[in-house]
Chain A
Amino acid sequence: MLEAISERFQKVFKALRGEGHLTEKHVDEALGEIRRALLAADVALPVVKEFTARVRERAVGEEVLSSLRPAHQVVKIVHEELTRLLGGEQKPLRLRGFPAPVLLVGLQGTGKTTTCAKLAVFIKNNLRKHVLLVPADCQRLAAREQLEQLGAQAGLPVLDTRGWSTPEEIARGALLEARRKGFEVLLFDTAGRLHVDDELMAELETLHGILKPSEVLFVADAMTGQDAVRSAEAFAARLPLTGVLLTKLDGDARGGAALSVVTVTGTPLRFAGVGERLGDLEPFHPDRMASRILGMGDMLTLIEKAQATVDAQRAEELERKLRKQGFDLEDLREQLRQLRSGGLMGQIMDLIPGAKALKGQQVDDRRLKRFEAIICSMTPRERRHPEIIKGSHRRRIARGAGTTVEEVNRLLRQYAEMRKLVKRAGSGDPRRMLRSLGM
């Protein structure tokens, strides 16, 4: 799917490259692909329409028409607009009042309870405040026990709400408890609810009235599809949301819901949940999210990043060498180093036509590091003539790199595949081949 989009993009850009100037027709053609990419990333259709219209307005006109690399200009505008929309007005958590109540709300199963504990850890560690976790989910079975166990894991106090049966009682009790014991922040885990459930939505309004929270955070699942606009809109209509928290970003969803939710609620994305451990909550990075949503569309940033990562001179050297004598393990090590320093491997690999074979297993920075260690454990001669590496060499190399022979074999296998790729690419324009290696 992604590959398909990438190919289509490349086709469009090829067409655009041929022209010195950008016509309306060209912009529209590019925007057609961008529309498709956004939809494939699950951005809601009305949001896509609005967004592409806005980009079109910006793109068609002098800014683009007079620029030298019009195709890149369009992508850049798209990326900028996306980043701007996603970032909104970035502001730190506002924790005003004593205590400062924070309300977490959202649909069922978005990850409110886990996020609540993560946010508490974040506030404790980064803002150095006394946090009290308040389980206010009276709907789901064992929701309270879940928060209690997470609190115990994190070494954070959790209010015992067993004596109360409604969220209102819990809210009042929590305020009293916080004032008595000097908790500065109250984090409320509310029950997940459907936005069409009038009764439960009204309950949230009541809760908001009692607490007058300084932050009301909408917790949204990164895997949400088109429905994101409807649910977020409904929550925003009932509650003055102050921010959005996007969960499950450690999966492979492109996360277009982020754009939908931000657009309809008019509030910025504040945090991202990126794993199951309690430390897996990050401040939100609008530019990264924009790239993620665009997926392969974000050619420009990638090209720019890749160019910045690679030393131009060494690239030329490599190009000469490749043309003369092919690709040895020294070159691979060089590649690995440059790619790792940019943390770009995954993205670059996606960009390389035909590199999917190399991606058989997930390429991550840890593996790059291990591969580099393995190459470093070889003798210069082995690096230049990998074919001499036999069983005993492999055992020695593995010991030296602190890894296993299987891992050494895996590296050599991947190297062999890469060399094939280089040969194939090398039969054409060497510059294109270098680009295909991420340079």
Chain B
Amino acid sequence: MELWERLRKGLGATRALFGERLMGEGGRVRVEALEEALLVADVGVETAEGIVRDFARASRSEVADAGGELAWLKARLRRLLSDDGTPPQRGMPHVVLVVGVNGTGKTTTVAKLAAAARAAGRSVVMVAADTFRAAAVEQLQSWGQRLGLEVVAHRQGADPAAVVFDALNAAKSRKLDEVIVDTAGRLHTKHNLMAELEKVRRVCGRAVTGAPQEVLLVLDATTGSNGLAQAREFREHAGVTGVVLTKLDGTAKGGVVLAVARELGVPVKWVGVGESVEDLLPFSADAFVEALLEPLQGESR
């Protein structure tokens, strides 16, 4: 897949940066090399140390069973990232709330999700509940025009919960399959804004029983360890069910999702790899782990 090729290229640059061989003698994984590979991928100090510790403690037979040190590591990381696979409860309509800090790419992700839903043959409406940022409503409306999809919006400055309530009721009476809600970007440290999000969530449940069935946190792949703090707060206040990792088409690895999965058990659902609507892919733990550990493949490649 082209994306993972690009990820590898980025990692090649990283390797050049260190100018040292990351693979030890005889095809064994050097512990420092492993730690560095994880650190430069933004896995975070604690998680990196945790993984290194697990690796050091793994018994010889365990490693042999897995097919070698690298294989053991890959399996370990894949297990960390594994989604339990239970699909979210389907609702009627199915409500997806898209949340995150400023500038991660929420609005674009909403458009991509809506396009994907329509491609799957579902009737879908987008909701412009970012009534705070200047021209956020216009941005989603422009996407709506481009995609030929309907957007429910109030004027800027309106109560986001009211927009959502109206949109959900409309979707219910028109028997639409899916509602995708764009919310305002907010730093997870702003109590009042997080409280506002709680309210939006409550109102969803009032309009449609069981809604929102999905709450997706949009995480920017360039984010460092702060991503974990973001995930923690958004999970607490908005009930995040999954992560959308955006901007993976640059050189960033987005390793923080490993910390998020390990600490909070929130799985990654989608990855964003570009600016057009097709650039949203289902997350693949295999490919992600391959890219993350690529520096350890040594020079045999």
Contact = CB atoms under 8 A, between A and B. Distances in A.
Given A146-B135, A223-B101, A251 B225 contact: no
Residue among B10, B224, B275 with max Cβ neighbours from chain A (10 Å): B224
Residue among A36, A41, A111, A221 with max Cβ neighbours from chain B (10 Å): A221
Interface in B72-129: 101-105
Nearest to B156: A149
B82 to A, nearest CB: 23
B222 interface: yes
Contacts of B42: 42, 225-227
A256 interface: yes
B251 A195 contact: yes
A252 interface: yes
Contacts of B187: 248, 250-251
A225 B188 contact: no
B250 A196 contact: yes
Contacts of B132: 276
B103 A227 contact: no
B135 A145 contact: yes
Interface residues of B, number: 54
B244 to A, nearest CB: 13
Contact of B103 (A46, A111, A142, A231): A111
A1 B182 CA distance: 32
A181 B59 CA distance: 75
B137 to A, nearest CB: 8
B23 interface: no
B103 A109 contact: yes
Residue among A147, A248, A250, A256 with max Cβ neighbours from chain B (10 Å): A248
Given A36-B45, A45-B40, A221-B103, A227 B189 contact: no
A420 B121 CA distance: 63
Nearest to B18: A46
A310 B185 CA distance: 41
A140 B146 CA distance: 13
B209 interface: no
Given A196-B251, A227-B252, A42 B224 contact: yes
Nearest to B100: A109
A409 interface: no
A271 to B, nearest CB: 17
B249 interface: yes
Interface in A167-222: 194-196, 221
Contact of A107 (B17, B41, B141, B250): B250
Contacts of B169: none
Given A40-B45, A227-B250, A248-B102, A45 B39 contact: yes
B1 interface: no
Given A42-B224, A109-B220, A227-B42, A142 B138 contact: yes
A362 interface: yes
B143 interface: yes
B100 to A, nearest CB: 10
A42 B139 CA distance: 32
Contacts of B36: 45
Nearest to A221: B103
B139 A142 contact: yes
Given A231-B250, A252-B189, A40 B44 contact: yes
B158 interface: no
A328 B143 CA distance: 61
Given A142-B138, A252-B226, A230 B105 contact: no
B224 A224 contact: yes
Residue among B36, B42, B222 with max Cβ neighbours from chain A (10 Å): B222
Contact of A225 (B17, B102, B252): B252
A139 interface: yes
A230 to B, nearest CB: 5
Interface string B12-27: 0110011000000000
Interface string A123-156: 0000000000000000111110111111001000
Interface in B182-229: 187-191, 220-227, 229
Nearest to B41: A226
B167 interface: no
Contacts of A276: 132
Given A141-B142, A142-B139, 19 more contacts: A1-B46, A40-B44, A108-B103, A143-B135, A145-B134, A145-B139, A146-B133, A147-B134, A153-B134, A194-B249, A196-B10, A221-B103, A225-B222, A225-B227, A226-B40, A226-B252, A226-B253, A230-B10, A252-B229
10 contacts: A109-B105, A141-B138, A149-B134, A221-B223, A225-B256, A226-B253, A231-B250, A252-B226, A254-B225, A362-B191
Interface of A: 1, 4, 36, 39-42, 44-46, 107-111, 139-143, 145-150, 153, 194-196, 221, 223-231, 248, 250-254, 256-257, 276, 362
Interface of B: 6, 10, 13-14, 17-18, 36, 39-42, 44-46, 101-105, 132-136, 138-139, 141-143, 146, 156, 187-191, 220-227, 229, 247, 249-253, 255-256, 275
